[in-house]
Amino acid sequence: MILQHESLQVKHQIVKDLENGYFYVARISDYHKHFSREHIIFYVCSIWMFGYAVHVPNHLGWGEVRFSQLFHFCTFDTESLSYKLFYGGMLALAIVLAFVFYAKIYLVLRHTTLARHMILNKQGGNKVNGLD
């Protein structure tokens, strides 16, 4: 059961890390407003609480925790189609958001010299947002 919480939390933490990277690369002027120490603590706590909140319906009667013949350990009710769709939707959300932020970062870096300057360790690549 713990692995499911952590799996969902890690996937959503990766999304938050990608959002952080996007703001750092593309919107540096907004970066410190969105990623201050207090905001980061809030984000981390909310992601962990979200991971556990997704499992609350399972403990309130929507499915149950039992031994799964499919996974061969105790887990949420893998026989309940509605709960599988709900849980799968939460995982799919993380995957889609990760793709969106990867694409945004790629599009920004594609039109800049920032990445090239960082890789080649050149000076003078410190233009605003790395744009030419």
Express each pLDDT in 31-81 by its tens digit: 888 888 998 899 888 888 887 787 777 777 776 667 777 767 777 665 677
Q: Is residue 109 within 8 Å of 25, Cβ to Cβ?
A: yes
pLDDT at 79: 66
112 beta partners: 131
| Count of helix runs (H) and strand runs (E) in the chain | 6, 2
Tokens of 4: 């499911």
What share of the chain in percent tops pLDDT 90? 5
